[in-house]
Amino acid sequence: MSLMISRSKLSRAVFTSPWSLLLFCLIPFLFILKIKLNVPLLAPLSMTVVLLNNLCFSLMAGIRLLYYLARLRKEHRYGAVGGRPSLFEEQLVPCAKVRTLLTGSGYRFSADGSYGEKRDKGYWGMLLLYAGLLLCLFLGSMDNLRQFSGVLLHGVGKSIELKKLDTYRQLVVGPLVGESPLLPKMRILRQILPDVTYPRGATEALFLEEDGKEHGGVLKHPDIFRSGPYDIYMTGMIYEPHIQIVIDGMEDVLNEKIMLKQLPQKVDGFGFFAPFKYGNLDGELFYQPEKSRLKVLLRQGTMEMLNKEMLFQVDREQSSGNLTVRCNTMGVWTEIHVVRRRHMPLVLLGGGLAVVGLILRLAIRPRRVWLEETPQGCRVFKTRS
């Protein structure tokens, strides 16, 4: 008897219980708390754990979808096992008469007459819920397993192989991505400075596919070049001057390359900017590519130590007090993003189906009834619709 009860509980946990599904929601919830709100957790929680959780969640959703589809044409979709309410009504008439009245209102009873249920549209809500969850979770998990999101800087010159992972400055790769994804070679032929036509600049590029086909044209933000399942696009121009600041003509205060990114709006004509820090010194660097105009600010606390402008490749250096600033070289790069496309429309469709199905199920509850003979008449256990 105990074995049968255990099997019944296990069956409900796998096929019908909402509580087992809520357990799968716990790990993503904790992960969001950790990432977004920096809530400390007792146990380490990585993206891999979340991914495994979502794969198991999608497997559970698939099993339940098959379960509900298999019972769609059955006489009794829910079955007598589980879900019987604890409250009941005492009827002072035989169960046969109660059964006749309920049959007339649409209930269908089992062979022994002890259990009956009425067809409801809320059952379709369960099908939509699990179909939506399966679509959303499975595709989302597969997208994460095959995720590829890389950022690289490249200038005019030789071709680079986008399939080589060491090409990228920043890279996120899923576990199912091989060491050489099917990406083309890219060569930048010309870089176009930001102007009215190209507010973020543009790049004339040539792509050589694995099959030998060549594709070329002007690449500008937010245009996308598609290569198989990958999207390749530029986000803007990057300037990287080599700044040297020395004190008393000897000791370096700063000697490094600083990456300048484009400002949303120009400041005093300068379109590119980057802050920098060296020890207890705070600095700001501005650049106006149209006029090759470079501006360097350096502060120590609230005291301004350096505020100089210079023309790149015209002024060799500028001095203020015992500080001298130099800029002899400057890299000009195009920032390129390479990402594998996600199935976001289908993922969102799945999420929408799941929400609609849940609302439909909550709005229309199952209509089930259990009859039990008593000496006085009939005991009726009935779910509330």
Residues 161, 230 within the same domain: yes
In-domain check, residue 286: yes
233 lies in the same domain as 248 = no
- Residue 320 inside a domain? The answer is yes
Total number of domains in the chain: 2
Nearest to 169 by CA among 337, 340, 47, 341: 337
Let me know if residue 283 belongs to a domain. yes
User: Within the chain, what is the greatest distance between any pair of CA atoms?
Assistant: 109
Q: What is the C-alpha separation between 142 and 285, in angstroms, rounded? A: 43
So what's the pLDDT on residue 7?
54
Say whether both 220 and 245 belong to one domain. no
Q: Identify the pLDDT of residue 4.
A: 40
- Residues 233 and 262 occupy one common structural domain: no
| Same domain, residue pair 154 and 230 | yes
Predicted confidence at residue 61, as pLDDT, reads 94
Q: What is the C-alpha to C-alpha distance for residues 239 and 289, in angstroms, rounded to an integer?
A: 9
Looking at the structure, do residues 214 and 246 belong to the same domain, yes or no? no
Residue 200 lies in a domain: yes
Cα 325 to Cα 285: distance, rounded to the nearest angstrom: 12
- Residues 151 and 274: their CA atoms lie apart, in Å, by 19
Which residues make beta-bridge pairs with 297?
284, 307
Together in a domain, 251 and 230:
no
Q: Specify whether 206 is located in the same domain as 288.
A: no
The verdict on 218 and 277 lying in the same domain is no
Which amino acid would we find at residue 366?
P
Question: Which contacts qualify for 168-175: CB closer than 8 Å, 24 or more apart?
Answer: 168/338, 172/147, 172/148, 173/147, 173/148, 174/144, 174/145, 174/146, 174/147, 174/148, 175/145
Q: What are phi and psi of 21, to 5 degrees?
A: -70, -35
88 part of a folded domain: no
Q: Same structural domain for residues 246 and 312?
A: yes
Query: pLDDT in tens for each of the 385 residues of the chain?
Result: 444 445 567 777 778 888 888 888 888 888 777 776 676 766 667 778 888 889 999 999 999 999 999 999 999 999 888 788 989 999 999 999 999 999 999 999 999 999 999 999 999 999 999 999 999 999 999 999 999 999 999 999 889 999 999 899 999 998 888 777 889 999 999 998 888 888 888 999 999 988 888 888 888 888 899 998 999 999 989 999 999 988 877 777 788 999 999 998 888 989 999 998 888 889 999 999 888 999 999 888 888 888 999 998 888 888 888 888 988 899 999 999 999 999 999 999 999 999 999 999 999 999 999 999 999 999 999 987 6
Residue 97 resides in a domain: no
Same domain, yes or no: 187 and 269: no
Q: Which residues of 308-324 are buried (b: 16+ CB within 10 A; e: fewer)?
A: bebebeeeeebeeeebb
Tell whether 170 and 190 lie within a shared domain. yes
Domain that holds residue 314: 240-330
Report if residue 193 sits inside a domain.
yes
pTM of the model: 0.77
Q: Examine residue 155 and state whether it is found in any structural domain, yes or no.
A: yes
